[in-house]
A and B are shown apart, each in its own frame.
Chain A
Amino acid sequence: MTLSVALQHRFGGFDLDVRFEAGRGVTALFGRSGAGKTTIVNAVAGLLRPDTAQISLNTVTFNDARTCLPPHKRRVGYVFQDARLFPHLSVAQNLDYPQRFGARPTGRDRIIEMLGIGALLARRPGTLSGGERQRVALGRALLADPRLLLMDEPLAALDGPRKAEILPYLDRLKSEGTVPILYVSHAVDEVARLADHMVLLSGGRVARQGPLFDVMADPAAVPLLGVREAGAVLRAHVTEHGLDGLSTLRVAAGEVQLMGVQAAVGAEIRLRVLAQDVLLSLDRPTGLSAQNILPVTIAAIREGDGPGAAIALDAGGDTLLARVTSRAVTSMGLTTGQNLFAIIKATSVAQTAISGGAISAKASAP
């Protein structure tokens, strides 16, 4: 399954020129508002015809110099930010709408069960909550039996609790892995939790693309993600839940102890370690309240335009990202290849579940 996109489009003084591929799993299209994300997704769906475009899914050409396949022939599911349920139809009629036009989805009951919308079938969209509406919209898109699923900020219109209500369903959908997903977002935490690949947009261009773990750990991506949001994502295995509420997790460089981990022992979860929460020390520190000290090697240093510098650290094969001041780089004499220690506070790590149906918990602020 490969979606291949190359398009140029000029609108309202904005110049979009992007080229990327999306394979199996979840590909996040990330960028600030106005970066052209929705334009790209609409072009893939066929709702917008770009000035020039080469778009194909496997062997099916969506757009080239001559053709622009109409949306209804693309079999691309689209979950919009606003659910866009048909108000004159019941939930069940909304779900079965694609079947009027030849969609022959398999596992209707399973999809309804997975999304927990079985009790809503007779209801009208007007009576549903925002979260319920978005789940029905997701179900409707899946029941169109799509070859590709587009999701344009499906959580952006929902408040915190509603988001938390939907995310486990997205985890489930992702773990089923039957449909490749192009996921548009400007929320780093959603992307860190869900995506396998990441396409970073900036100023109408693709600034970075690649596997999520690589892009998130790339010092050059820090200004694009925002200095407060940037941070590497690590794979971690839960090894023990302590009686004191601290859990032990194994990462490539050693063990870390964290609070509020809800995944079961043995589960693999994602840890998002914000770059601004990583401290560096030349010697193994002693007499420090922080318990998580990992030996690391400097892989790259990127001094920004401001007073900050982003440092990529090799941590036993994983990459961590730290953000320090340029002054600290100079006074500590940091150079590439240097060995030192990274300190992570147990309370500062955002955790995201990736498999085993585990539910994520965000560590509480210190």
Chain B
Amino acid sequence: MMLDPAGWEALRLSLLVGVTATVLALPLAIWVAWLLARRDFWGKSALNAAVHLPLVLPPVVTGYLLLIAFGRTGPAGRFLEETFGLVLAFRWTGAVLAAVVMGFPLMVRAIRLAIEAVDPKLEQAARTLGAPGWAVFRTVTLPLILPGILAGGVMGFAKAIGEFGATITFVANIPGETQTLPSAIYALLQVPGGEDAAIRLVLWACVLALGAVVLSEWLARRVAARIAGT
């Protein structure tokens, strides 16, 4: 399982991108899932479609759209650079954005299902007991949807680790900056004699994915037991 320095770098970068993307996307995903599950508003279908778009679009298309919008000459890209000094194109931060966009629909779907499974009557009861809107969410809804959030988080993390098409289109394949596990495997397979190093990276990808699933199952079971009220 030993990797060469470039391999370790790809692994490190993948974990960095995966964790950052998951942490950034989760709160937004919870909010959007809650909106879609519990609120009726003008443009709800449009929001739902926009959230799911990256799931159905070819990843290369998503990556190219990101490049148009968030490239250094794109409107959003120029705004971020001028206002915050934040450059996304061809940087690891851009890989994070690609991972967020691609993982977002998976997170929202899992969390939305969990929210829809929470009986709104419990939330009503909380309101009659003196809890204002935000507190109802924090003390009743949130604890009850924790398994869904965990599941969504793991899905998003796994997606971020494995994202290839949108990432390579948006931020290319720069070792040490944007070369994550899949891009590194892809690059190794393009050169003669790269198979050995590629196999080692493939094994690591398997270990990460399996580890994430096992961990989330274990956490979900603990949380579910706590919630089941027995």
Interface residues of A, Cβ cutoff 8 Å to B: 45-47, 70-72, 74-78, 80, 82, 84-88, 97-98, 100-103, 124-127, 140-141, 144
Contact = CB atoms under 8 A, between A and B. Distances in A.
Contact of B124 (A47, A74, A98, A103): A47
Nearest to B226: A88
5 A-B pairs with the lowest CB-CB distances in the bound complex, closest first: A126-B229, A101-B130, A87-B229, A124-B229, A71-B127
A87 B127 contact: no
B121 A80 contact: yes
A184 B200 CA distance: 69
Given A97-B131, A144-B128, 15 more contacts: A45-B128, A47-B128, A70-B127, A72-B129, A72-B130, A72-B131, A74-B128, A84-B121, A84-B122, A84-B125, A97-B126, A97-B129, A100-B131, A126-B228, A141-B129
A62 to B, nearest CB: 13
Interface stretch (B2-10, B135-143, B156-164): B135-143
B132 A72 contact: yes
Contact of A76 (B121, B128, B132, B227): B128
Contacts of A77: 128
A87 B227 contact: yes
Interface of B: 119, 121-122, 124-133, 135, 139-140, 143-144, 226-230
Contacts of A102: 130
A86 B143 CA distance: 10
Nearest to B128: A78
Contacts of A78: 125, 128
B228 A87 contact: yes
Contacts of A88: 143-144, 226-227, 229
B129 A144 contact: yes
A69 B144 CA distance: 27
A144 B130 contact: yes
29 contacts: A45-B128, A46-B128, A47-B127, A47-B128, A72-B127, A72-B131, A76-B128, A78-B125, A80-B121, A84-B119, A84-B122, A86-B122, A86-B140, A87-B229, A88-B143, A88-B227, A97-B126, A97-B131, A98-B130, A100-B131, A100-B135, A100-B139, A101-B129, A103-B129, A124-B229, A125-B229, A126-B228, A140-B129, A144-B128
A248 to B, nearest CB: 46
A88 B119 CA distance: 13
A97 B227 CA distance: 16
A71 B132 CA distance: 8
Contacts, number: 80
Nearest to A90: B229
Contacts of B129: 72, 97-98, 101, 103, 140-141, 144
B64 to A, nearest CB: 45
A75 B129 CA distance: 7
A150 to B, nearest CB: 8
Contacts of B228: 87, 124, 126
A71 B182 CA distance: 52
A268 B167 CA distance: 82
Nearest to B132: A72
Contacts of B140: 86
Contacts of A100: 130-131, 135, 139
Nearest to A47: B124
A311 B132 CA distance: 52
A84 B229 CA distance: 13
Contacts of A101: 129-132, 135
A166 to B, nearest CB: 18
Nearest to A144: B129
A334 to B, nearest CB: 51
Contacts of B127: 46-47, 70-72
A39 B121 CA distance: 14
Contacts of A141: 128-129
A46 B133 CA distance: 13
A76 B229 CA distance: 26
Nearest to A91: B229
Contacts of A46: 127-128
A141 B129 CA distance: 7
B139 A124 contact: no
A127 B229 contact: yes
A127 B128 contact: no
A32 B230 CA distance: 36
A127 B225 CA distance: 13
A270 to B, nearest CB: 30
Nearest to A81: B121
Contacts of B229: 85, 87-88, 124-127
B226 to A, nearest CB: 6
Contacts of A140: 129
A101 B135 CA distance: 9
A80 B130 contact: no
Contacts of A98: 129-130
A267 B226 CA distance: 48
Nearest to B140: A86
Contacts of A72: 127-132
Contacts of A87: 122, 144, 227-229
